[in-house]
Structure 1
Amino acid sequence: DEEQVNESKMLLFNGLYYRGSWATPFQQLRTEESKFFTNTDERPVMMMRSQGTFGVGKDEQLDAKFLELPYNNSRYSLLLMVPNNKDGLKELIKNFNPDTLSTVQKSLVQMPVQICIPKFRIDTTSRAEKPLAKLGLITMFTSKADLSGITTEQKIHVDELVQHVSIRVDEGSSSENALSATNIVEAKT
């Protein structure tokens, strides 16, 4: 909106990109269409298959199973979570936090397994103000914001924060990128 752009005192952008090749790549010849089940229906998707030694685990409290797919550099990995119940994803997301992540990672056991996961891409754009407020970051969105660490301008605050995230998982690798845009405006007195 042109009026809002004229009110902007500062626009901040940040980005993140990561592409990692799997330590154990999926074999393209074994990728085939198969059924994928959601909590409401089933749909045909391209499923990738592999076998090897991977970190696997389960957590009774989260009521879920876990699979760790390491990247070639062995510093990073993708942790997949699968709820035990078809309709358990919302509950799993609600109960998952940094502490449970640490617990799950420590409990993973390396064992030979055959895996089958969907080849997929997700793109989403969302506003971040409400989730940040739930985490306690409220003041930066009000006239009481102190942004002196990034500007000498007084009486400004964050008006909106938009984030775009893209995730792609295929036979050879996965890539993740995120772009955030922040609009900072003059505080109304």
Structure 2
Amino acid sequence: MMCGVCFVLCGLCLLSTEAAGPNSHPGQGEVPLESNTLTRELSVPELDEYEYYAEPGDYEDEEDHPAEVGKGRLPAPRSWDSLRRRFRGKSRLQRLALLNTDFAFSFYRSLARSQPAADNLVFSPFGLSSLMAMVVAGAGNGTREQISRALGFNMFMASQPGGEEMLLHDIFHKLNHRLYKHHFGYRLKGSSGIYIRGGLEVRKTFEEGLRHYYGAQAQSVDFLDPQTVAKFNRLISKATKGKLQDVVEDIDPQTVMLIYQALHFKGSWEHKFIKSKTAMLHFYTGRSAVVKVPMMYVRATMLATTDHTHECDVISLPYSANASMLLVVPYRTFGLRHIERELSWEMVDNWLKDMTNRTREVYIPKFTLHGDYDLIETFEDLGVTDLFHNQADLSGICEERKLYVSSLKQHVALKVDEEGSEVAAVSLSGFMPLSSQAKFMADHPFLFLIFEHHTQSLLFMGRVMNPLNQ
């Protein structure tokens, strides 16, 4: 039975700066829209990720990489020595996951600023990182540099010229393979595709690279055909088991290419919440605002800690596999904003290290969240600007046309119930085990993070301000 499910659709549309003309081969060379699931396409042998461990080479001096810290922009590390320390003892998969987590928290802050303070949030940083890695495969010069800085790709193999990008895609390939395996207690499936307007000459290296590394099959379509939208929506509905439907209302007729990725996560709690114990209890959304929500209950041995520095309690709700949902509940009803500002990989790493295992009574609300975000402004806030305007350099995709990204969206649906989830630098002295508390109560706004622990990948994250609001 499921304990949680998350469904995600990430997509971007590319337009030509030239006037759009009719399709060169209407009705010819077009194939039906169909999904391409990575678990079916990738044929990678069983891997031990630690075979790919290697210390970074000779890192460049800090002066060669001046920090560019804007509103939500990801800051450069204080020194390449600090990056070396963060990477020490980690496989290359874990290093990439670490940088993806840095990006996730920076992106979360920027996204949160663009949304009403009382709104719930849910998104997939892993889905966005994978999608943007596909774009990097076709980007050049300044466009590639902006994306790489925002996502942390430039730090991944900081001073190894030549082969850097190939290594990035190769590690994404292995990371996808690891996460999409079938024999875990949770299930994560990905479906990626590229839809190209008939007659557009796409570089073979780009097309073959996305197919090899990301399982994204290129298909020729007619974006002027009204049936294209209906076919695309049916494809996404099928890929997300019907949880995301009619997510695309229309496609700009000038679109020449659409790249998408759909994710489906389904996990069962290791310790099932007792349905008969679910009761309507208070959830405090404000100083004097209270709503009654279905509050789930379980008594089980779980890992948790208290962070006195950031005034919050943290518990790890394990799935029946090597994954868990971390719940971060501030002491105060309005304490979430401070945690959001300070959230970092180091904070989470310290939480995980300081957790102790003991029997606890856990109360968390049932909730269902939907996120539908246009993300261009959020990426611009992180320093990715050229990609969405005429100065974009996507010459690695198509030599003949000047392309730019006109639309970048993510749609997410997350359900958490008694069975599980379904979804389409802090000093250690500031921590203490949650050993003196036998109860964990999430009865006011909290953060959640869904991690796969072997690769240390942050798959989904968000906040719950009011469980009754979807």
- Verify same fold: TM over 0.5: yes
Offset at residue 90 of structure 1 (A): 2.0
Matched ranges for 1:91-110 at <5 A = 91-110=338-357
Aligned to 1:58: 306
Q: Deviations over 1:5-53 (max 9, x none)?
A: 1221212221111110000000111111111111351101101000111
Is the Cα contact below 8 Å between 1:36 and 1:44 reproduced in 2? yes
Give the letter for the 1:38 counterpart: T
**CA–CA separation in structure 2 for the residues paired with 1:153 and 1:19:** 42
Offset at residue 4 of structure 1 (A): 6.9
Change (3 A) 1:129 1:98: farther
Is the Cα contact below 8 Å between 1:62 and 1:96 reproduced in 2? no
Change (3 A) 1:115 1:9: same
Aligned to 1:185: none
1:79 aligns with 2:355: no
Give the letter for the 2:299 counterpart: Q
Give the letter for the 1:169 counterpart: V
1:131 aligns with 2:378: yes
Give the letter for the 1:116 counterpart: Y
Q: CA RMSD in A?
A: 2.1
Change (3 A) 1:5 1:28: same
Write 1 or 2 for the structure with the bigger share of helix: 2
Aligned to 2:112: none
Offset at residue 153 of structure 1 (A): 5.1
Q: How many percent of aligned residue pairs carry the same amino acid?
A: 28
Q: Deviations over 1:140-187 (max 9, x none)?
A: 223232334544453211122111111111001101129xxxxxxxxx
Write 1 or 2 for the structure with the bigger share of strand: 1
Aligned to 2:99: none
Which runs of 5 or more residues in structure 2 are unaligned?
1-223, 225-249, 425-458, 460-470
Match of 1:18 among 253, 257, 265: 265
- Normalised by the length of structure 2, the TM-score is 0.35
**CA–CA separation in structure 1 for the residues paired with 2:338 and 2:257:** 39
Q: Deviations over 1:44-72 (max 9, x none)?
A: 11010001111111223322111100000
Aligned to 2:139: none
Offset at residue 120 of structure 1 (A): 0.8
> Number of residues paired by the alignment?
176
Give the letter for the 2:267 counterpart: G
Change (3 A) 1:155 1:76: same
Give the letter for the 1:45 counterpart: V
| Bigger radius of gyration among the two | 2
Which runs of 5 or more residues in structure 1 are unaligned?
179-189
Match of 1:44 among 283, 289, 292: 292
Is the Cα contact below 8 Å between 1:30 and 1:48 reproduced in 2? yes
Give the letter for the 1:173 counterpart: G
Matched ranges for 1:110-125 at <5 A = 110-125=357-372
